[in-house]
Amino acid sequence: MTLSKVQYENGGYNAWGNVNAESTVQVIVALTALNIDPKAKQVALPTLKKTASFNQQGAMRDGVYTDNMVDALLTFFAAGSGSSPEVGGFKHVTAGYDGGGGSGSSVNAMATDQALYGLIAYDRFVQRKNRLYDMTDMKNGQYKSMKAKTYTVTFKNGDATETATYAPYAIINLATPFSNDDVIAWTTNDTGTQTTQYTTSEKLVMPKENITLYAKTDAKTYHITYELDGGTVQQAPTTFKDIDSTALPTAANVQKAGYQFAGWYTTADFSTSAVTVIPKNTTSNQTFYAKWVAQDAVSKELMDLIQQLPTRITMKDIEFVKNARAMYNSLTTEEKATISNVGKLLDAEQQVIILQNTTNTDDPEKVTNDAVSVVYMIQQLPLTVTLQTQSDIEKARAAYNSLSIAQKRLVSNYALLVRSEKQYTALTAKEVDAAVAKRVVQQIAGLPAVKNVKLTSKEAIASARVAYDTMLFSQQELVTNYNKLLQAELQLQKLEVANRLTVNSVKNTHKVVTGHTTANQLVKVYRGKTLLGSKKAGPTGDYKVSIAKQKADVTLKVVAGKYSKSVVVKTSKTLKKPTVSATKVTTVTGKSTKGYKVEVYNGTKRIGTATVSKKNTFTVKIVKQKKKQKLKIRVIDSMNNKSGYKMIQVK
């Protein structure tokens, strides 16, 4: 029996084989009830004399990076699922098996209820209110007189001003103020720079503070430059207005012989994310660089593009989906077989069909005819499903998903479609799981051994992590070398931490501590609990902190943000050995430099000390020794510089 882990790297919690919203909520509620911060990096467990952490190492899941349970819960929000942007619900899961209820791609009532009270529990914890199920602060009827706080929106149009009062999260209708004037947008400041703009057709959610919005009566126009690297583009906009979002040319309009178009980027090295639109509120000329991928490298590029598609497709994602389909269609049959995440593309395309058909379902005759067509498609599916039935099943599923809710209710044989899908999944699951797992095992096997991991290994390790995290749980169980990936990640993390703070060698003649850290980071130097000096690092991360001279062998602690390193002060010179004039059973006499400390040892045991006089002489009283006993002697100065040992014999 294989046991699955409970909390995953992204902070979410697992039950019944998948990370889900409800399990994550229950942990949040339980921790806040115990007065424990779910986002705390460390939680003390005094009874066990240990500490625990609910913050994980962090991971990408469905295109979103999180490392704690609160942020992970927010990824279940189904954006665009309500009547307007500010209205919506939560999904049960975001990927993997959803229990058959479709709650991986749509709102789930139970998930929404629980997510809401889970967030309320955390909000009450942050505000130091009673825990979620403790209503004792309301037992005297205080709730009867409670009213929502209100805040003011001030609309300014030149010298004219209008004000309105709203409760937090209320909807602000921007078309109402100065409705008779030529207002085309509202901005968050009156300077025209670094401002957010909202058109009068939009609605805002009222924040928990007073705000001021400034009227805008004209739209500014900016220019677009395309860097095509030998390619061509057709039907491309050359200008845009700051109050509108502007779509960029799609793959159908961008060509280069021997290459596949892979998106527009704002940097020549393609280090940023690909873009398909110029967002509203952009207030500067824009340059976009076309990324091209050689035809034989399209497969990897396509899988990366599909991986970046969100689980919940909205209108702004349609062009991304079309670009992915165009790249897939350009592949050979052999290349298509290597696209392990094509299922996500198919799911995205089904959602596009739904988006494009939802405005066409008002005609009762069309509602009925479309539903009857799907019923007929399902009837044609064979009772015994084979691998060759895949295309017919997918077509029937796509057709069903494209229906409106009213049409779906008319599909009386939907259970037959579900049964066929389950039969086909059972046929292919083991074969597909093994093939996917084999590719990931090979990818992890290609990682360097732990001792050979370097900072330059980061991209390969991150790629292997993404490949593993996007697998189904049944596939992950077949990855036999997962521990190698974990060890590589841990070693890389150690290297990254070490690289964030370096300390150069410090000698007892030095008056500064130097090294490297994050740019502009405040660096402090301590001896024990005593602060010796502090200074901010420069823009390149180099720092130089002034301190008083320290004795050799003293340990200093250098602190930069959350990182710290210790350094031992080294000697700057080796002293000349003392001159010994007589070694007797109870005294040792000789010469050295005035002020030096003289030490006499029998083996490792110190048997006497003295200080060299102003006349550069010393007499050390020692524990009585036997004649011919071999001893050793050395001197130490005020900065803890030492001489080598000189061997002497008792006479």
- Report pLDDT digits (tens) over 610-631: 999 999 999 999 999 999 999 9
Number of H helices, E strands in the chain: 14, 37
Mean pLDDT of the chain: 84
Please answer whether residues 440 and 432 qualify as being in contact, where contact means their C-beta atoms are separated by less than 8 angstroms. Answer: no
In 3D space, the residue among 124, 204, 146, 132 whose CA is nearest the CA of residue 170 turns out to be: 204
Report which of residues 622 and 215 the model is more confident about. 622
Of the given ranges (223-227, 247-251, 585-589), which has the lowest mean pLDDT? 247-251
Whether 484 shows a pLDDT value over 70: the answer reads yes
Please answer whether residues 502 and 515 qualify as being in contact, where contact means their C-beta atoms are separated by less than 8 angstroms. Answer: yes
Handedness of CA 302, 269, 313, 436 (dihedral sign): positive
CA dist 275 and 342 (Å) reads 22
Strand partners, 548: none
pLDDT in tens, 322-341: 888 888 887 766 677 678 78
Taking residues 379-407, what's their average pLDDT? 81
User: What pTM does this model have?
Assistant: 0.37
Whether 285 shows a pLDDT value over 60: the answer reads yes
Taking residues 347-362, what's their average pLDDT? 61
pLDDT at 205: 83
Q: How many CB atoms lie within 10 A of CB 601?
A: 15
Which residues are CB-neighbours of 283 under 8 A, at least 6 positions away?
192, 193, 195, 220, 222, 242
DSSP 132-185: TT--GGGTTSGGGG-----EEEEEEETTEEEEEEE-TTPEEETTSTTTTS---E
DSSP state of 9: T
Residue where the block lists tokens 């115990």: 34
- List the beta strands (DSSP E) in 24-169: 43-45, 50-52, 59-61, 64-66, 77-78, 89-90, 151-157, 160-166
What token pair was written down for 329? Answer: 């269609």
Pairing of the two strands 221-227 and 502-503: unpaired
pLDDT in tens, 509-535: 999 999 988 888 899 999 999 999 999
Residue 309 burial by Cβ neighbours in a 10 Å radius (0-12, 13-18, 19+): buried
Pairing of the two strands 522-527 and 530-536: antiparallel
CA dist 416 and 378 (Å) reads 7
Whether 287 shows a pLDDT value over 60: the answer reads yes
Taking residues 496-511, what's their average pLDDT? 86
**Portion of the chain with pLDDT greater than 90, in percent:** 31
pLDDT at 378: 85
Please answer whether residues 628 and 649 qualify as being in contact, where contact means their C-beta atoms are separated by less than 8 angstroms. Answer: yes
What token pair was written down for 90? Answer: 């939560």
Whether 260 shows a pLDDT value over 90: the answer reads no
pLDDT band at 192 (very low <50, low <70, confident <90, very high): low
Handedness of CA 433, 435, 436, 437 (dihedral sign): positive
Look at the chain and count its residues.
651
What token pair was written down for 325? Answer: 């389909």
pLDDT at 362: 46
Report which of residues 10 and 98 the model is more confident about. 10
Whether 156 shows a pLDDT value over 50: the answer reads yes
pLDDT band at 103 (very low <50, low <70, confident <90, very high): low
Please answer whether residues 570 and 557 qualify as being in contact, where contact means their C-beta atoms are separated by less than 8 angstroms. Answer: no
Taking residues 634-638, what's their average pLDDT? 94
Backbone angles phi, psi at 317, to 5 degrees: -95, -5
Please answer whether residues 21 and 73 qualify as being in contact, where contact means their C-beta atoms are separated by less than 8 angstroms. Answer: yes
Report which of residues 588 and 471 the model is more confident about. 588
pLDDT band at 366 (very low <50, low <70, confident <90, very high): low
Whether 152 shows a pLDDT value over 50: the answer reads yes
What token pair was written down for 531? Answer: 């602060």
pLDDT band at 4 (very low <50, low <70, confident <90, very high): very low
pLDDT at 100: 56
Whether 506 shows a pLDDT value over 90: the answer reads yes
Report which of residues 98 and 275 the model is more confident about. 275
Whether 144 shows a pLDDT value over 90: the answer reads no
* 3-state secondary structure (DSSP) of residue 434: helix
Taking residues 296-314, what's their average pLDDT? 78
